Structure 1
Amino acid sequence: MLDILVYLYESFRMAELAPDRDALEKRLFAAGFEEAHINATLDWFANLTSSAAHDRLAHAHYRHYAPEELESLNDACRDEISYLVGAEILDPESREWVISGLMALAGEDVEPDHVRWMTLIVLWSRGLIEHFTHLEEMLLNHEPGRLH
């Protein structure tokens, strides 16, 4: 899933410039991605881009992880998420989408790099990145704990 999302991010610097779903499916299949992965990823992406904001999340400052999240997201990943929230890069709703995306990476060992990429994908798709090149540089080329 993450490979497909990164491909979309790198191919369309603005999410709204991506072609319709049928054209995306054909393009992704031609790029060598499997149909089942394409459909699952595009379904998740469609939910992300079309979902309404949840008022209750605006005041959600603390996050308790469910047992399956604790199993999938190691301490380093949870620390990275916490850091991104503390640095005000992720708002609570974006944080939930990042966690949702990471949990959808079934069968993969999730690492802090996955957290950073998923953060870029979520912010990009929600139109929350004004200067994504700078944020991309900060997120993908920093040492853990040194994002400034």
Structure 2
Amino acid sequence: MKENVFDVLMYLFENYLYDDEPQPDRDSLEGELFEAGFHPGEVRRAFAWLDELGESRELPGGAALNRSMSLRLFSDREAGKLDLESRGFVIFLEQIGVLTPVSREVIIDRLMALDDDDVDLDQVKWVTLMVLFNQPGQEEAFAWMENYLFDNPMHLIH
């Protein structure tokens, strides 16, 4: 079975990060992930991805910055990795107020850090949920995204 960083992240999110129970230490988690069949390289990259996500908690997110109207242009590299539907979804979330410019940039950064050449819309939705879960003051946005993912199984936007 070919696993990637996203698969490891989903496993951790579903089994630990999203849980209110005390979290096991990193060594225990690594051992469990290895036993579950994940490759050590993928596990290390997933932990590095999470470490970088944790660093994003320190980004400034003042009210003036979060309320500013901004225009996001995607680089050629970003457009090559994120298809039009995925980019449109991120912009849509910002336009309806679920994302701030700061959270939008963290999401794009974490999507670009995935080891997949192409990122699909489902990955965008899950990374968005992970980022909002991790960002202080984003509880309402996280709840909206959580409801969107779990209460709307078709995930349609029309």
Using the size of structure 2 for normalisation, the TM-score is 0.77
Label 1:137 to 1:87 Cα distance change in 2 as closer, same or farther (>3 A).
same
Residue 35 of structure 1: aligned partner: 40
Which structure 1 segments of 5+ residues have no match? Answer: none
In structure 2, the residue matched to 1:101 is 110
Alpha carbons of structure 1 residues 96 and 18: separation in structure 2 relative to 1, 3 Å: farther
The percent of aligned pairs where both chains have the same amino acid is 34
Higher mean Cα deviation, 133-142 or 79-88? 133-142
The residue aligned with 2:10 is 6
Gapped runs of 5+ residues in structure 2? none
CA contact (8 A) 1:6 1:121 kept: no
Structure 2 residue matching 1:38: 3-state secondary structure: helix
Paired residue type of 1:139: L
**Which has the larger Rg?**
2
* Structural mapping, 1:70-81, within 5 Å: 70-81=79-90
Q: 2:157 aligns with which of 126, 145, 148?
A: 145
How many residue pairs match? The answer is 146
Kept in 2, the 8 Å contact 1:5–1:121? The answer is no
Aligned residues of 1:14 and 1:124 also touching (Cα < 8 A): no
Secondary structure of residue in 2 paired with 1:49 = helix
Q: Which structure's relative contact order is higher, taking Cα pairs within 8 Å and 6+ residues apart?
A: 1
Letter in 2 for 1:114: Q
Partners of 1:17 and 1:65 in 2: CA distance: 39
* TM-score, L = length of structure 1: 0.81
CA 1:131 to 1:49, structure 2 compared with 1: closer, same or farther past 3 Å? same
Partner AA of 1:66 in structure 2: S
1:136 has 2:149 as partner: no
Residues in 1 aligned to 2:9 and 2:93: alpha-carbon distance in whole angstroms: 20
